[in-house]
Amino acid sequence: MTRTKLLQVDSIDHYLFRFTVKTVTLVIAWASVTASAQSIRFQLPTAPISQFDVWESSVTSKKSLTDNPFVGASLHAIFVVGTDTIPVEGFCDSPDGRLFRLRFMPLRAGQYSYVLSFSVAKGKPQLTRGQFTVAASTRPGPLRVDSQHPWHFVREGSGEHFFWNSTTTYWLMGWKDERIIQQALDRLARLRINRIRVAINARQDDGKRWAEPLVKASEQFTFKLNPWVARQPDDLDNPGFDVTRFNVAHWQKLDRLVQYARQKGIIVSLIFYVDGLEHGCDPFKKATMGNADEQRYYRYAAARYSAYDNIMWDIANEYHLFRNEAWVEKMGTLLKQADPAKHLISVHGKADFPFRKSPWVDVVLYQSWDECGGYQFMTDCRQKQMEAGRIMPQVNEEYGYEDHYPVWGCGPTATKVPNGRSADNRRRLAWEIYMAGGYQSTGERANEGTGAGHDTGGGWINGRGDSTMTMLTGYGYIMDSFQQVTYWQMEPHNELTNYGNLCLAEPGQQYLVYSRLTDCRVALPRTSGTYSVLMLNPRTGEQHPLPDCDASANGAWQYPKSLVDDWVFILKKK
């Protein structure tokens, strides 16, 4: 991890110290003023803390200290561990400014010293200091790019590789009853989904915008998300956002969503805009995009959520519809600097990704529908990334949702042929994406909708599902298959199998074959010895060990019978 270093520090107790946050240098004098003299109170955690936990402190006051606490007051901290110095920004957590919080995630065990500084407008900072010990943790820690195998992911704490099994739940925050949110997360966790996409800010009238007319606003569900205070929060096109004041209740609800997902082992990709071009979602427009108020929006999110090990950032969904590339670069750089934990960051756009070399980008996200986003597309994406001189994971973040048939997509086929985007079709396409060495985010059907007909589901729109929605079970079988090999050490090697079948291999050691033909054959080095062979049914999850293969016999393994449907074979050197 790269952390900001002290520019001038003799010790944490020194009378004068200096630190730099991005390009802004703050100088704090060690004053003898006490918090009580200024009618504020620092509240510091006393419970033991472990690595990757959330250390949270607060500042409270008996009355509001400024007309607008979101711009007129600030809470900052410096944490020092060993030779590392980490500046952290706090945030206002009450509409009247009587409560500020500061959250910090220690990334390493050890002895920490800190100084908290609270100030109002241009007043003199009020300080408190302390120390705490961080114990080693068994938590998996934040998601990182694997430095040894940078096409793939690893958890910082456990060192375990992370098989990205993701789905879209844009309007999960739209549920008014938070028990429904928790039930949705419970279900997705049971289905082994380990990452979800959630909008912080989005506005729509109903699902007709995406050819999903059964998903409607109701007494339980709203499409209108209000991250800022609004004069008319229920007005779709003119909410009257005050972009200098945050709607604290909205953010506290998102806190609880992130915290519950953390308990369930689910990473939440926080999206700052979904359908930013639509209705009143974007209060800045191109005229004021990237200004101080919009920057505050991104910094506020970083202050609230960077202390959680189960988040990552998405600058905007389909940014190209309402922003330009210069804005993306600006906000991506800002967010990378504002997040002391340096969570993964990307931006969702289309089939092209113009930010391959940008220092703030950690993951490449695409939108390419149907077979246009399948094996060949992901293979080409890997090649373009290699040509850029920087390897990082490739994800088709959207390739068409289950039973979702708008007029757009990969040509006319999928939009007109029945079952063109069925659960089985999406599963097979996901296999293609994974077998190209990439990753994917899927979406469940939303055609049994909120507020109409059978009032369950909502799928990719709001994250809720039921027992009739079985697509994600097949994605769990994909995870089962990959977790039986060290897939991060494998590369695409289709030249080793029948044309039309797909092969990932660490030649001479292990092979994962996704067979779609009546025959399946894999070429092996004759000198590589004996292999165990496992046959998996990707439609049911059943697994069957087959007889061992001696590569010296004919330099290949071949399944002796004709196959019907798709199958998976895993060969491992014994």
Q: Around 427, how many Cα atoms within 13 Å sit in the side-chain half-sphere?
A: 24
pLDDT over threshold 80, residue 280? yes
In angstroms, the CA 48 to CA 52 distance is 12
Are 272 and 200 a contacting pair, CB within 8 Å? yes
Tokens of 554: 């004919």
Q: Is the pLDDT of residue 538 over 80?
A: yes
Nearest to 404 by CA among 186, 192, 168: 168
Give the single-character DSSP code of 412.
T
Q: What is the pLDDT of residue 407?
A: 80
Using CB atoms within 10 Å of the CB of residue 562, give its burial: 0 to 12 exposed, 13 to 18 middle, 19+ buried.
Answer: exposed
Q: Which residues pair with 19 in a beta bridge?
A: 26
- Could you count the other beta carbons within 10 Å of the beta carbon of residue 271? 22
Please give the distance of CA 200 from its chain centroid, rounded to a whole number: 12
Q: What percent of the chain has pLDDT over 90?
A: 87
| 438 three-state secondary structure | coil
Averaged confidence pLDDT in the chain: 92
Supply 159's token pair. 């060192």
- pLDDT at position 411 is 67
Same fold, 16-135 and 151-483: no
Q: Where does the pLDDT of residue 449 fall: very low under 50, low under 70, confident under 90, or very high at 90 and above?
A: confident
Contact 411/368 with Cβ under 8 angstroms? no
In the prediction, which pLDDT does 22 show? 34
**How high is the pLDDT of residue 267?**
98
More confident residue, 452 or 356: 356
Residue 151 has pLDDT above 60, yes or no: yes
- The amino acid present at 286, given as its one-letter code, is K
Q: How confident is the model at residue 19 (pLDDT cuts 50, 70, 90)?
A: very low
Instruction: List the domain boundaries for the chain.
Output: 16-135, 151-483, 488-573
**Does the structure show a pLDDT above 90 at 83?**
yes
Greater confidence (35 vs 243) lies with 243
pLDDT digits 0-9 by tens, 457-508: 899 999 999 999 999 999 999 999 999 999 999 999 999 999 999 999 999 9
CATH classification for the domain delimited by 151-483, as one of 1.10.730.10, 3.20.20.80, 1.10.540.10, 3.30.70.3040: 3.20.20.80
- Which residue is it, tokens 């940078």? 150
In the structure, what pLDDT confidence band is assigned to residue 414 with cuts at 50, 70 and 90? low
pLDDT of residue 317: 97
Percent of the chain having pLDDT more than 70?
92
pLDDT band at 59 (very low <50, low <70, confident <90, very high): very high
Please state which CATH number belongs to domain 16-135.
2.60.40.10
Q: Mean pLDDT across the stretch 398-419?
A: 80
Stretch 282-304: mean pLDDT, rounded?
98
Q: Rounded to an integer, what distance in angstroms lies between the CA atom of residue 84 and that of residue 290? A: 31
Are the C-beta atoms of residues 171 and 462 closer than 8 Å to each other?
yes
C-alpha distances out from residue 306 to 52, 88, 142, 261, Å:
11, 10, 10, 15
Please give the model's pTM, rounded to 2 decimal places: 0.93
β pairing state of 521-523 and 491-492: unpaired
In the block, residue with structure tokens 């590339």:
325
User: What is the DSSP code (8-state) at residue 491?
Assistant: E
Cα 265 to its chain centre, rounded Å, is: 12
pLDDT at position 121: 85
Domain 488-573 is found in CATH 3.30.70? no
